[in-house]
Amino acid sequence: MPSIKEILNTMEYGPAPESQKEAQAWLEQHGRTFGLFIDNAWTDAGALFASTNPADASKLADLTQATGDDVDRAVAAARRAQPGWQALGGHGRAKVLYAIARLLQKHARLFAVLETLDNGKTIRETRDVDLPLAARHFYYHAGWAQLQAEEFADYRAVGVVGQIVPWNFPLLMLSWKIAPALAAGNTVVFKPAEFTSLTAMLFAEICVQAGVPAGVVNIVTGDGAVGEAIVNHAGIDKLAFTGSTEVGRQIRIATAGSGKKLSLELGGKSPFIVFEDADLDAAVEGLVDSIWFNQGQVCCAGSRLLVQESVEAKFLAKLRARMDKLTLGAPLEKSIDVGALVDPIQQQRITELVESARAEGCTVYQPACDIPVDGAWFPPTLITGASTSAAVAQAEIFGPVLVAMSFRTPPEAVQLANNTVYGLAACVWTENISLALDVAPQIKAGVVWINTANQFDAACGFGGYRESGFGREGGREGMYEYLTALSEDARPAAPVLAAPAKIKAPAPIAAGGAFAIDRTAKMYIGGKQTRPDGAYSRAVHGADGAFIAEVGEGSRKDIRNAVEAAHKAGGWSKATAHNRAQVLYYIAENLAARGEEFAARIAAMTGASSASAEKEVQASIERLFYYAAYADKYDGLAHQPPMHGVTVALNEPVGVIGIVCPNEAPLLGLISLVAPAIAMGNRAVVVPSEAHPLSATDLYQVFDTSDLPGGVVNIVTGSADELARTLATHSDIDAVWRHDGSAAGCAEVERLSAASLKRTWVGGAKGRDWYSTAQAGGRAVLAHASQVKNVWIPYGV
């Protein structure tokens, strides 16, 4: 008689398909044809394109290809509705968001089945992950709407928001974007992915049921031309995009100089790091969830396995055995692990990448499984033997393909993890909590999961570093993406600049004293005064046109040297916040000791009265104290999401920031930008006021006597346009700030930064009251000087 174990081993699951009757009936109710949803009404269907089931290639419905005129109507409807929606107040908006959440729950199975039919992902994922999270986002943001007047008292809604999402999480991405936008008082023009628009159509219906006022949510369908129309529309105040890095780069270029607020959640090549002391069986299960969840069509998928050499063979053997048990097939079957790819085009791209790895001599492992004849399918795949520079190790495959390699030590693991242009997410598996918490901050990624994978919650921000984009979705930081500080509305229409005086020739040096006075201020790079590489200088004249001194004419080589020095000063980012605060206090103390000298210099350069110049020096000292005080008080947060664990949101430095300073208030403007940058642990390459640079060059000795490590602040004088251009195109600079009032220069910085997708903060043609802490201080400035990393730490499991 066989044992129970033998019987269990021979048992097979019978078919357990989820019924699609209700979803098909809903499609029939609409005649399987959809117009656009604008101003709470459906338009007549226009030019149509098909939405198909990727599992069997059958047509589900026809959707309307929106035109430019359709986008115009949607934006106009959103513009009309926005004042009333904002005036409804936090409680009024909260009630509507709450109603949407309840309706999502009420119709959860219909949404889940429709999503599976349209996308190809398994019903287990849509039912157990996508729908609960979508409802959670509306519940969570209903709370922010209720608390907005108290928690975001100094902010207002941005206005009309254009939102574009991909096809991998159609409804969930909709929820991530629409919920915070509505909570903040914005109205929305939303474009779902061309392949997967059906759940957005169903969502439009529940918006009406939930009492969303006409024009607040508008949904336009179609291909990339529709997204392009939204991106380029002058009536859009903010754009939120999730998708490929290449398209994100094009959006950054298209919006440069427009003043539109922008958040981008882009691609990833996330590392999944397994240390030798990890629970290997648990790590295998985590890896399955990380890379084969949603067929690997996940921007944060753990597509790069980094396993410690001592356990590599053992771990890979366990992994292959687990792969052999994965089931692939009809997504509506409740026991299926891997569903269909979204489209044959995606299937072809994945196939080509895998075959390129095979041609390069890599080992490709795929479990034996039956591949359905119809539809778009690809089996779970493990690639070993790839070099770190191989296409499969660097490119975002966006499919069920895992590339594995080994490491020996934790530093090597970090180095390999960061060997990518992306920086979206990472997983760290180890039973040593000290090791985990040491490694997590070193990984350049916006989200790090410790001993877990693919955890998401509305309370915890999600977003990336580097070419994975900028901005966050979820949490408090996600709300800020849809708000504008009231202080921005109070900014002067233009910078206040004195009319240039007629230049006077330098006075001749007295006979016999040709070398008595050196009136050429050097640059400051790596803690040392240096001459310009090009050996050119430019004259600095006072308000009366009189020659004062010369400064070096900075060049690309000088910027390169300054960036190298800034990277060598990486220890500043690891210094304690208390230590950074002390140095800022020292700078303030030493500036105060030389206050009269700095005031005289400001008066000579700008023509300001002695009283005004002294006021600027005192304001600069106070601003240093201000950011010294904030250095150890701009803390992160500890979130308690609905899991057994805690999520720690760390405020990390951005890295190396290029700063182009204003011409007005040449000392205070520089201090107001440099102080928050270094208070947060960044290093800076500073281009001082082009017209009045001597306040910056006079700071060298102040820095030298204030314990500021060499390379933390580097000063390169010269042309703001030329040097800003070099900063924006430099691949080792993480962000560029420009506040000199040049509209064209600011637009150029935004456009050129798209090459590496570095963050930017520009002032445009508007001025700024540098004496006002509302306009030149506060958390809004510190947010530009930091980036949030969410570290998920489970416990009790």
690 catalytic per annotation: no
Residue 786's φ and ψ, nearest 5 degrees, are -145, 165
Per DSSP bridges, beta strands 483-485 and 155-157 are: antiparallel
3-state secondary structure of 235: coil
For 404-460, write each residue's pLDDT tens digit: 999 999 999 999 999 999 999 999 999 999 999 999 999 999 999 999 999 999 999
Among residues 18, 265, 616, 750, which one is catalytic?
265
Q: pLDDT class for 343, splitting at 50, 70, 90?
A: confident
Mean pLDDT of the chain: 93
* Tokens of residue 222, six digits: 């179609």
Does 358 score more than 60 pLDDT?
yes
3-state secondary structure of 584: helix
Among 128-137, 196-205, 494-503, 660-669, whose mean pLDDT is lowest?
A: 494-503
Higher pLDDT, 495 or 126: 126
Among residues 18, 194, 299, 616, which one is catalytic?
299
Does 750 score more than 50 pLDDT?
yes
369 burial class (0-12, 13-18, 19+ CB within 10 angstroms)? middle
**pTM, full prediction:** 0.93
pLDDT average, residue stretch 640-654? 91
pLDDT average, residue stretch 737-750? 95
Per-residue confidence (pLDDT) for residue 515, from 0 to 100 = 44
Q: pLDDT class for 514, splitting at 50, 70, 90?
A: very low
Burial annotation 719-734 (CB, 10 A radius, 16+ → b, else e): ebbbbbbbbbbbeebb
Q: Are 655 and 570 in contact (CB under 8 A)?
A: no
What share of the chain has pLDDT > 90, as a percent? 84
Distance CA 505, CA 511 (A): 17
300 catalytic per annotation: no
First to last CA, the chain: 38
For 21-63, write each residue's pLDDT tens digit: 999 999 999 999 999 999 999 999 999 999 999 999 999 999 9
User: DSSP of 388-400, one letter per residue?
Assistant: TTSHHHHS---SS
Distance CA 99, CA 89 (A): 16
pLDDT average, residue stretch 67-80? 98
Per-residue confidence (pLDDT) for residue 697, from 0 to 100 = 93
Per-residue confidence (pLDDT) for residue 375, from 0 to 100 = 87
Q: Where do the H-state alpha helices sit in 211-267?
A: 224-232, 245-255
* Tokens of residue 525, six digits: 């790079």
